[in-house]
Structure 1
Amino acid sequence: MLLVALGACRKITEADVMEAEEVIKDANIVLLQLETSIEAVVTSVKLAQKYNVPVILNPAPYQEFPKEILKYISYITPNETEAFELSGIEVKDPQTALEAAKKIYHMGVQSVIITMGGQGAFLYTGEKEGKFIPSYKVEAIDTTGAGDAFNGGLAYALSKGNSIIEAVQFANSVAALSVTKIGNAPAMPYKEDIENFLRGKGLLIP
């Protein structure tokens, strides 16, 4: 179980984010989630858009936010629950994931990636059917933090210039390894662990 207590994160202001303008300007990608003040999220999105830096938004833990920022989001990565909050469609399988992804896509997002736990991830970029990318079979011990692991892996792979499908496959591998250990941050795999895992699967290493 994860409990959210925003604490100081709720106090992050526009001015605080603006102090990091040069960092955002020089970034390959910006990864955001909703465990901060919405003011901080909106300001970060605007700064990234100003400098043409791609943005990944992980809408977790879900809270209401101005949907107009979605037109500046390159990649949004809701899980099934968050996809339901955004679309009103209950995600159970690839078909319902497609329906939800289409609705979210038409809010202005360039790419929708719905994470579906042990099933994998559903990618939709405006094409007719989308693409379901299955997860890797592992012995899951603790799934808390899997979404964080996925998003970190996605950001890393995209920043290295990988295609979106390659990046989702890489993110799936990071998430898979993370659930094989207890905890959230302590369970995050090292780069060497990920590379060894991918080699064993005969997959590309970013």
Structure 2
Amino acid sequence: MTQSKKSAIAKLKTPLLLKVVCHHANIAYTAPALAQYIHGIKEDSSPFKRLLDGKHNISKKTRASIFVKLARDASKSQLSDLEKLWDSILWDVLEVDINDQTKLAEIYKHFPLSLQKHVFEKQDLSGLKRRLPRTNEIPPIEHQYSLESFVFLIALSKEFIHKRYLQYQTVLEPALLRTLFVIWQFNPFSLISKELLSAIRDEHYEREDYSPSNSAIFTC
């Protein structure tokens, strides 16, 4: 468990992942319960308290131990979904500085090609020549109804707001909201959707003329 200065999103990630772990393990969302579940003995639970407080990251060793234990108590699909959430580009999208276009382009290249084609010029094989999708490209993105498409819509929303393309939000925001409602129904996202929604609100909707209070996605 390593300690470092962490962003608000980085501090959020570990507690949310452990919330899913506790749900699948059918244990209390507490440090003592996690310590006993993962290590099998009563011990000093302070390291897990620091994890739940978002002060430390989960080490590779602890992660491996978690999945070994969960293999006994969770289904294969639950384990697979947890692993996908754990390694999801979601956390990078939430955390990226929208002014860092190089980093943002690198993040977009981690999405499936079916999504990448909406933000890179078709003739640019290097994947470095950026563009923004037309409004009529938003529905095909939405209709994938996946965690990846939801995260992709979050990234686009950050860009549109930053560039003051507020007219796009009349198309983008409903698509984001509908996609959220679809994936909200399934674990593990359903277990942490409220916290993630708050993170999106607090981190990315900062402008006074497009504040959370004026956005349907935050008043539903």
TM-score by length of 1: 0.31
The structure in which a higher percent of residues are helix is 2
Q: With CA pairs under 8 Å and 6+ residues apart, which has the higher RCO, 1 or 2? A: 2
The structure in which a higher percent of residues are strand is 1
